[in-house]
């Protein structure tokens, strides 16, 4: 089946723009006010590391994790049973290694789980990311702040001292279980910054890899991104009609930090390059934003943030099975 994409127009994205308050020119960095600014943002140079092209003939989820990134389970959470069952695990770095819900239906881990977070400093065009299969190499070691039966809290600073990212990941039980993710990004650079904060989800619902078939459908909206197996699928898969959604809950807080937000799907299994995330993945491959049908794909959710010196912006998302 041929791929089908439905790119979001720049005109519609412009409708999500939020203008910043005016300040003096000497104190104001270059402004980003919509997803169009990501699309038009200057591209990063391709990696000269030959290892970035290694093993491209393999199914991506069978490739080797690079140093510092990990897909190893460290903090495990389980609740419910049957249709209310939820089981997921978090790495030391704050990535999901799996997400099973309902019982017997795995949503992320098919030959490995690719999931994580990214930050881009708009002024310097420097990206910081950790997607499980690899990372940008410019993070300090993670620090576990707290851990209990319902949540884990992990801090991680960028190696250049620009940002501190604090993640609190909690299980929410009940008839509609979910994993809630609170990400707090603090500007520790000593001056005002504009940043993109994103969450990447390598959705692979149910048994997509049991016959080396990783093909699903993917899409996104203003408040979500998701991957799923459709009912009465027209392509070969042993999977049932299940899906997983990455959903934003509200807007960043405080409201003064909020520039824009958007969820989107695209045609790559790799995570988006944080500074040009709507048109390139971390391997340097060009990606197309929009609906993906019967193919490899992923989803991401992005916030544009304006941060004063030492200011923190907090965003909340959740993984919700459907």
Structure tokens, 182: 């609170």
DSSP H/E element including 220: strand 216-220
Mind giving me the DSSP string for 239-294? --S-EEEEEE-S--BSGGGEEEEEEEEES-SSPBPTTSTTTBBTTS-B--BS-EEE
Q: Is residue 180 within 8 Å of residue 194, measured between CB atoms? A: no
Q: Say yes or no to pLDDT of 1 above 80.
A: no
- Residue 207 pLDDT: 72
Q: Say yes or no to pLDDT of 64 above 60.
A: no
Residue range 282-307: mean pLDDT, rounded: 95
| Domains in the chain, CATH or no CATH each | 10-321 (2.70.98)
Tens of pLDDT, residue by residue over 11-38, are 233 333 332 222 333 334 445 556 556 5
Q: Say yes or no to pLDDT of 8 above 90.
A: no
**Under DSSP, is residue 63 helix (H, G, I), strand (E, B) or coil?**
coil
Longest dimension (CA), the chain: 59
Mean of all residue pLDDT scores within the chain: 82
Structure tokens, 53: 């092209």
Percentage of residues in the chain with pLDDT exceeding 70? 75
Of the spans 3-7, 47-51, 237-241, 279-283, which averages the highest pLDDT?
279-283
Strand residue runs (E) in 59-149: 75-79, 86-90, 96-100, 115-121, 126-130, 143-147
Please tell me the distance from the alpha carbon of residue 144 to that of residue 106, in angstroms, as a whole number.
26
- Residue 77 pLDDT: 98
Residue range 35-45: mean pLDDT, rounded: 52
Residue 295 pLDDT class (50, 70, 90 cuts) = confident
Residue 269 pLDDT class (50, 70, 90 cuts) = very high
Strands 151-157 and 292-295: unpaired
Q: Say yes or no to pLDDT of 140 above 50.
A: yes
């Amino acid at each position: 089946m041929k791929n089908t994409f439905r790119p979001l127009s720049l005109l519609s994205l412009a409708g999500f723009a939020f203008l910043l308050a005016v300040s003096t020119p000497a104190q104001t960095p270059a402004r980003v006010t919509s997803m169009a600014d990501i699309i038009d943002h200057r591209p990063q140079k391709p990696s000269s590391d030959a290892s970035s092209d290694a093993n491209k003939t393999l199914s991506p989820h069978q490739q080797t994790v690079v140093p510092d990134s990990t897909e190893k389970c460290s903090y495990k959470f389980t609740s419910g049973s049957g249709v209310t069952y939820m089981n997921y695990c978090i790495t030391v770095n704050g990535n999901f290694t799996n997400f099973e819900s309902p019982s017997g239906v795995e949503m992320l881990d098919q030959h490995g789980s690719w999931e994580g977070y990214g930050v881009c400093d708009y002024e310097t065009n420097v990206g910081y990311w950790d997607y499980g299969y690899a990372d940008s190499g410019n993070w300090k070691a993670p620090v576990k702040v707290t851990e209990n039966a319902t949540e884990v809290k992990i801090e991680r600073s960028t190696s250049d001292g620009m940002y501190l990212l604090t993640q609190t990941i909690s299980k929410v039980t009940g008839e509609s279980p979910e994993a809630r993710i609170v990400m707090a990004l603090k500007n520790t650079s000593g001056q005002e910054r504009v940043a993109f904060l994103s969450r990447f989800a390598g959705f692979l619902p149910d048994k997509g890899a049991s016959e080396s078939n990783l093909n699903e459908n993917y899409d996104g909206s203003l408040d979500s991104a998701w991957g799923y197996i459709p009912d009465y699928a027209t392509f070969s898969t042993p999977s049932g009609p299940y899906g997983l959604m990455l959903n934003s809950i509200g807007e960043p807080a405080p409201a003064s930090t909020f520039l824009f937000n958007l969820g989107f799907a695209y045609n790559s299994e790799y995570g988006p390059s944080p500074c040009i995330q709507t048109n390139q993945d971390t391997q340097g491959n060009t990606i197309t934003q929009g609906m993906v049908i019967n193919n490899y794909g992923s989803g991401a959710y992005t916030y544009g943030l304006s941060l004063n010196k030492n200011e923190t912006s907090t965003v909340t998302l959740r993984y919700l099975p459907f």
